[in-house]
Amino acid sequence: MVPKTYSVYIMASEACVLYIGVTSGLEVRVYQHKQNLVEGFTKKYKCHKLVYFESTTDVQAALAREKQLKGWTRFKKMQLIQKFNPTWKDLSEEFGPDPSTSSDSAQDDRGEEQLRSE
């Protein structure tokens, strides 16, 4: 059995507004943000570019890391992105086919299931 993977991720807007989240389905969750299927911060501030992510099989570690990153200063968050993604390219461009064609679901940072069809 393949262990479930949890990803802590940072989305950015063109104006460099940053959003940090955690999910069990990164590709689906990023698609939801890009298509404005998720009400809230990322839709309001147009955070549609995946600029950073890290993954683990430990859900508690992922949630702790999300909390840690959210506690950092903006400058420190930007340094982290700059270190791993110096050009701030959209990392989701490497994902492949459109995830909306699958019936998989993703868990958001509150553990609520978000279906691709929403």
The stretches of the chain forming alpha helices (DSSP H) are: 26-34, 41-44, 59-71, 74-84
Residue 18's Cβ-side half-sphere holds a number of Cα atoms within 13 Å equal to 21
- 0.85 exceeded by pTM: no
Structural domains of the chain, ranges and CATH numbers in brackets: 6-115 (3.40.1440.10)
Please write the tens of the pLDDT for every residue from 13-26: 999 999 999 999 99
Please write the tens of the pLDDT for every residue from 29-50: 999 999 999 899 999 999 999 9
The mean per-residue pLDDT over the stretch 94-118 comes to: 49
